[in-house]
Amino acid sequence: MSDKAIDPSNATKLIAEALGTFLLLFGAVGTALFAADFGTGANGTSLGVGFVGVALAFGLTIVAGAYTWGPISGGHFNPAVTLGLAAAGRFEWKHVPGYIIAQIVGGAIGTTLLFLIGVFGPEGWLGDAQAGGFASNGYGELSPGGFGLGAAIVAEILFTAIFVLVILGVTHARLGTGFAGLVIGLTLTLIHLASIPIDNTSVNPARSIATAIYGGGGYLGQVWVFIVFPIVGALIAGFAYRALFEQTPAQPIQAEARTE
């Protein structure tokens, strides 16, 4: 047997991106829908995992996906991350559209399967879940904490920029860490802990699209905010990182967000 590594095909990378985004949506949004507020026990203790549990679910699914499919595709699982890496010179622009499509499809499959589970749930559960937005992002009256459009815009730009800067730092070819997947997952957990009350935390257009499909109504009408401004934050971070921290002109590679 040859010990020479074989670079995965583009099709394999796209499948890996779809699977990773599927895992993120199915696991983390599933936690938000099924376990965040599970009611109260006989002794008055909450049975749900709350915001903290949901934040951990997003972080844990990213860790799992990064170490499972990161070595194949780079483990982006997020259109904003893909665009941020491209802006930093870590990913070829010609591959960006395929990655984004794969991520959106994977995320939509994740929420579709959650919807299917809800169809067979307790009477009224699915209707209540959709009325509550199906874990969608929102501002104004659709914000968990009542925060307005301006707060959502600022939060999405800044938190996405922070997320992308961390990814670029820990996956640097020379200066990165072998624990990149763990650091990235913990960063996403921290972001959710801080921003769930603001707009239910996006920093990922694929996540926002996938939930808005079933949240419908006002949530679908507001989803543009959670597509546009995470991308703005990611591009700012990518171009800034390239200008400030790259010692030599960056050379595009297929997928720098490695976790090995």
Q: Is residue 93 included in any domain, yes or no?
A: yes
Is residue 84 in some structural domain? yes
Question: Distance between CA 29 and CA 114 in Å, rounded?
Answer: 8
Tens-place pLDDT, residues 27-37: 999 999 999 87
Question: Within 10 Å of residue 43's Cβ, how many Cβ atoms?
Answer: 5
| Confidence (pTM) | 0.90
Within a domain: 18: yes
**What is the domain extent for residue 98?**
10-245
Judge whether 54 lies within some domain.
yes
Query: CA 3, CA 77: separation in Å to the nearest integer?
Result: 29
Could you identify the residue written with the tokens 């914000």?
Answer: 143
pLDDT tens-digit map of 132-165: 999 999 999 999 999 999 999 999 999 999 999 9
In a domain, 250, yes or no: no
Task: Name the amino acid, one letter, at 43.
Answer: N
Domain presence at residue 19: yes
Cα(226)–Cα(240) distance, rounded to whole angstroms? Answer: 21
User: CATH number for the domain including 214?
Assistant: 1.20.1080.10
Do the Cβ atoms of 209 and 223 come closer than 8 Å?
yes
Specify if 226 maps to a domain: yes
CA 183, 25, 21, 68 torsion-angle sign: positive
Classify residue 123: in a domain, yes or no.
Answer: yes
Average pLDDT by consecutive 10-residue portion of the chain (260 residues)?
68 98 98 81 64 96 97 96 97 97 98 97 94 96 97 98 97 84 97 97 98 96 98 98 75 44
Helix axes 96-119, 79-87, angle to 10 degrees: 160
Total domains in the chain come to 1
